[in-house]
Each structure stands twice: as structure tokens, then as C-alpha cells.
Amino acid sequence: MTICVVGLGKIGLPLAAQFASKGHRVVGTDIDPRVVGLVNQGIEPFPGERDLDVVLKSVVEAGLLTATADTTAAVAASEVVVLVVPLYVDADGRPDFGSLDAATRAVAAGLRPGALVCYETTLPVGTTRHRWAPMLEEGSGLTTGRHFHLAFSPERVLTGRVFADLRRYPKLVGGVDEWSTRRAVAFYESVLDFDPREDLPRPNGVWDMGSAEAAELAKLAETTYRDVNIGLANQFARHAHALGVDVARVIEACNSQPYSHIHQPGIAVGGHCIPVYPRLYLWNDPAATVVRAAREANEAMPGYAVDLLASVFGSLAGAGVLVLGAAYRGGVRETAFSGVFPLVEELRARGAEPYVSDPLYSAEELAALGLPPHRGEPVAAAVVQADHPEYQTLGAADLPGVRALVDGRRVTDPARWEGVERVVIGSGL
């Protein structure tokens, strides 16, 4: 096959490399000329994805993967088109389809009879059938189900471990009609390998979800579940702190029973997925009060962390406060929906002078993100926002003059913070 992958980001590029590694001819497209140029040289544009450097170099040198900025031309030469273009939501939770609309129009302009189009970007339920199908038909002059096939198959991987996750998790597939589903199932069976898993109710592999809507809902449901679970864990943590109880012990005890699967609390929920997809779910189902309450609970955690800091430090007016970690999670160079942004905003609202440091970002990069970089200024307090491994060995000696620390990720070593008022979210201490 010749396959076109639209969007060579942190998910799309590994996916393109995976398809090519199975011997298929893959053309990746992206609007960023830098990404296109690096991919054509066999160089990963965003280091950090395990094994991508090796796989990418191999398939590019073999002539199996090339990149271009001309999506329409690439689609015209392809039998299968897979779109992995970002979808964001605005401050009110409304999806912004701008990038995906543009990509879909470019695909439609090159779509040829007999092609299969698969969307992997997480979408509100009904988007594949009611938005993409009409747009593809209008731009191509072809009819869905008669001249081309259309399906949805959500990406279910995490950056940093995409290849491992592609093997570990079933590939969910649903088309807008029976033949689209069959075609998409056959395609993914030809490009993916799966690890055997005895814990699943049926063999690991490509799972036919029956419809695009079922596949769309499955992705939203599994991610929204995580947000709701974390929201509940955060409420348990706040209550445990008020009681003087360590919530980690409570959660460990609860999860020793097979019907309890409580997640871990923390200062913020970030990334492209967990804070976003519940809002996409709510766009379809605004009456989902549990989902809305969990989202509100998680969004309140940065403010709660500042409350904890003020409770042991006193007035923050004029105090230098160092936020440790700009990334949304440890070891990942990504700030999408990171808790660092509301944390800095809340500290400023309290009159503090916030600074930010992160082992994965230079001072110039932090400034470009609108964050005040720490350049050695004296600070009186600190807040751990990301669970970078470097913070496990950080101590009071590294921040002379620090009087208080709030650990929002339970990552610091208490022995290294003697003489400092140290508070861990949910510790009760």
C-alpha cells in the first residue's frame, strides 16, 4: 500500500514510521517545513520518543518514508489516508476544528476513488459521520460508502512510549458503514503487531467497534474516566489533609481490594488529553454533572496548592516563590495545559513574585512560554509542580533561604528539607 499520514507530530510521526516498518510506502505531510525537512533526513524533530530515532532512520534510508508539505498531492497518490491533526478546545470547552477542517479540505481535494480515510484524532461523538463525511464529499465529488471508505480509530498511546503502546492496547475501529469498518480493520491488521494479553476479554488486536460513534465514545469515555477518577482522588486528598491523614496510605489500602482503582491526587492535570477530552464529552453531553464536577475539582488544585503554601508561610505578598517544573508531567518536555500556568497566575494574584525552573527547559524557552524564568534570584518558598526525577534529590541546601515547600507530586525527600515547612498534597502533615 501507499499510505498518507497527515500530521507528523508526536503521535503522527511514530505512526508513520510504524506503517513504513511493515514494508508499506508512507508519505507523511505536515504544515511545518522544519518538520518536513528533518523527517526527510531521517532525523526526529522532537527527541524523546523511545526507538523513534532508530526506526525513522531505517525507513527513510530504505525509501519507505518521505515527507512533504503538499497534503493534496500525497493523498492523490495514496490508497489509505490517516489523519492525526490536533483538535483543541477553547476556554469554554468548545472544540476548535480549524486545523482539522483545513487538513480535511486538503485531503478531499486529492481523494481518489477506492481510498480509505481514517481519523485518529480524538473527536466529539458524531464528528466523523456528520462533519468529515460531508466535507470530504463536497471537496472530492465522491460519495462516502460508495466511492471511498471512512472510519474512526482513536490513538491510544502516550508520547515517549508510542511503539510499546501500539503493541499493548487493542486498536479500536469503527466506520460510518459496514464496508468502511471492514476495510479499516483489515488495514490496521496489516500495519500493527500486538502483544498477547491474558487480561483481556478477547484476543488483543484490532477490535471492531461496530460504528464510528462507538469508537469515538470509547476514546472519550476511557479518558474522561481518568479525569473523574483523579478528581475524586483530589477530593479525598483535600479531606485527608484536613483530617491529618495520609491519603496515600488510604488509597493503597483501598486498592488492595479488586473493586477499587483510585488514581493518585496531584497539583494539576495537564497534557493534550485528560484535561481536554472531558470537555469534548461535555460538548455532546452537557448534562453529565459528574464529569463537570470532576473537571472543576481538578482545575481548582493549583489554587488549593497556593492555599496550602500560604497556610504555612503566611502572607505571600512580595515573597519570591519558585515553581519547580513547567512540564505537565515528569520527564516529558511538554507544557500543554500544564498546571504551571494557573499556578503562576494564582501566585501573582496573591502578591507573590513567581519564578519557574525546569530541567528540560532553558530560561529563554520558559520566557518564550510567558513564564518568568528563575535566574538565581533569592526565593523564600517553592512549589513542586512536575514530578521530574531530578526533584527526588533536591533539598533545602539547593535553595538557600527557602522557608516553605509545597510538594504537589509527592516526589521530594523529606530528609533533604529539614528546617523547612514542607507540605505534601494529601499527606495530612
10 is catalytic: no
219 is catalytic: yes
What CA–CA distances, in Å, run from 58 to 23, 149, 165, 167, 228? 11, 31, 20, 19, 41
**DSSP-derived secondary structure letter, 389:** G
Nine-digit cell string for 131? 462533519
Q: How far apart are CA 258 and CA 261, in angstroms?
A: 8
Q: Which residue has the cell 526533584?
A: 391
Q: How far apart are CA 153 and CA 122, in angstroms?
A: 9
DSSP assignment of 405-425, as one string? EEESSS-S-GGGGTTSEEEET
List the beta bridge partners of residue 174: 152
Kindly name the residue from 4, 118, 219, 254 that is annotated as catalytic. 219
DSSP assignment of 253-286, as one string? HHTTSTT-------S---SSSTTTHHHHHHHH-T
SS3 (DSSP) at 12: helix
Kindly name the residue from 4, 118, 171, 273 that is annotated as catalytic. 273
Nine-digit cell string for 213? 460513534
Q: Which residue has the cell 461523538?
A: 125
Which one-letter amino acid corresponds to residue 414? P
Active site residues: 219, 273
